[in-house]
Amino acid sequence: MYEIANALADAVVLQQETGGPAIDSTGAAALAVGLAALGAGYAERGIGSAAMGAIAEDRDLFGLGLILTVLPETLVILALVVVFVA
């Protein structure tokens, strides 16, 4: 995490020195999709374990658990749509 903070600080310094953006539009799009995927994975971690526990208790909750587990993936799909639109 410390290395990422240093890289971001270097990018800010680079932007101030050159007067232009430190990252181009392709890099910004990749960063947006990557962060969206990271957030979706983090959300699925908790949802998936809770869904498996609920399904172990009652098999009728499989459909709801599946829907709730897949729901965070829409974040990544929307991020990809934004990349292709922009």
| Amino acid 67: pLDDT | 92
| Amino acid 49: pLDDT | 92
| Amino acid 32: pLDDT | 85
**pLDDT tens string for the chain (86 positions)?**
667 666 666 666 555 556 667 778 888 888 888 998 999 999 999 999 999 999 999 999 999 999 999 998 888 888 888 888 86
pTM, rounded to two decimals:
0.65
Alpha-carbon gap, residue 44 to 47, rounded angstroms: 5
Which distant-in-sequence residues (6+ apart) come within 8 Å of 21 by Cβ?
15
DSSP 8-state class, residue 58: -
| Amino acid 28: pLDDT | 84
Alpha-carbon gap, residue 85 to 35, rounded angstroms: 18
